[in-house]
Structure formats: structure tokens, C-alpha cells
């Protein structure tokens, strides 16, 4: 584990050295990369505190039994439907979805339902679909969803069953 942290710190250090070098030498691509990093970080820091407050409230207010009933081992197809509906309302992309997933998992959600949530959060968030339908057309968006959602569900079931048979557990903390 210590080696991974060293590699991560070294990679981040190299990234920031590259950005600094680009700023000093006037390398345009590096300067744009640095600007994009600042813009993305600012957007993320505006959203993340609210997400963590909402996840904290979810942890306190939603009982484990409720999550197990709707997302757990005995949920059936409705668990996949609920995870898609929950993912549709997720704002902020996958960096918001992963803390939600961790909370759902800790409260007893089934792995395949969790994988469906992650896949659906990546492809069918309402703000993204609205933007897509505006530029690509409603027909395109509908076809994309009708093709991709069944594939997400099937692949989630396969991956969830595979990992469940091998007694996979999400690590607590890193």
C-alpha cells in the first residue's frame, strides 16, 4: 500500500511540475491543461460539500432495512429500476456517485444494483440527457438509452454475480 501512495504522490508532483514548467516557458497546451484543472477543481469544490452533507443526512435518516428492501439481495428487478431513477437525479457526475455507492453498499445494497447505479449515473443523468436531446435530438437520446440501459443492467448482473461468488467486499477506507 505504501508503494501506491509513493507512486500517486510522484505522479501528482510531476503533473504540477509540468504545469509550472508550461507556465514559465509559455507552452500553450500545458497552460490550457492547468487552466482546465483550476476550472474543474473550482466546480468540484462548489458541489462536493453539499454532496457530503446530503450523504451524511442519508446515512442518518435512511434506515438500513429500507435500503435492503429496495436495493438489497431480495429486491428483484425493481432494485435496478430504483437505481436507474436514483442515478438520473444525480448531479455532478461520477465523483458524486461513488460516495453514494459506498453509502448504499454499507447499508446492504446488492453489488449488481450498485453497478447499475454507477453505469446509469454515467449515461442517464437528467441534465446530461436534456443537453444531449437539445443538440442531438430526442430520437437519438431515446435510442441511446434503450440500447445502453439494458446493456448496463446485464453487465451489472454478470459482474455482480461474479464478484459475489468470490466473496468480494468493498474495502473500508484507503
What pLDDT is stored for residue 46 in this prediction?
85
Angle, alpha carbons 121-127-52 (nearest 5°): 55
What distances in angstroms separate CA 133 from CA 64, 89, 117, 125, one per listed residue? 37, 16, 22, 12
For 96-124, the pLDDT digits (tens) are 888 889 899 999 999 999 999 999 999 98
Q: Please tell me the predicted confidence (pLDDT) of residue 1.
A: 60
User: What is the reported pLDDT for 55?
Assistant: 86
pTM equals: 0.78
- Give the Cβ contact number of residue 112 at 10 Å: 25
Tens digit of each residue's pLDDT (9 = 90 or more) over 26-85 = 999 999 999 999 998 898 888 888 888 988 898 899 899 999 999 999 888 999 999 999
Report how far residue 88's alpha carbon sits from residue 74's, in angstroms, rounded to the nearest whole number.
Answer: 23
Amino acid at each position: 500500500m505504501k508503494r501506491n501512495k509513493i507512486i500517486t504522490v510522484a505522479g501528482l508532483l510531476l503533473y504540477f511540475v509540468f504545469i509550472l514548467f508550461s507556465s514559465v516557458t509559455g507552452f500553450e497546451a500545458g497552460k490550457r491543461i492547468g487552466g482546465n484543472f483550476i476550472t474543474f477543481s473550482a466546480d468540484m469544490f462548489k458541489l462536493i460539500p453539499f454532496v457530503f452533507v446530503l450523504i451524511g443526512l442519508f446515512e442518518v435518516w435512511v434506515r438500513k432495512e429500507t435500503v435492503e428492501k429496495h436495493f438489497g439481495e431480495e429486491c428483484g428487478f425493481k432494485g435496478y429500476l430504483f437505481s436507474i431513477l436514483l442515478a438520473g437525479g444525480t448531479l455532478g457526475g461520477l465523483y458524486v456517485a461513488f460516495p453514494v455507492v459506498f453509502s448504499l453498499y454499507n447499508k446492504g445494497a446488492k453489488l449488481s444494483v450498485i453497478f447499475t447505479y454507477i453505469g446509469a449515473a454515467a449515461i442517464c443523468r437528467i441534465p446530461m440527457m436534456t443537453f444531449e436531446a437539445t443538440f442531438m435530438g430526442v430520437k437519438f437520446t431515446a435510442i441511446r438509452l434503450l440500447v445502453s440501459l439494458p446493456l448496463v443492467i446485464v453487465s451489472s448482473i454478470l459482474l455482480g454475480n461474479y464478484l459475489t461468488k468470490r466473496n468480494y467486499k468493498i474495502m473500508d477506507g484507503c
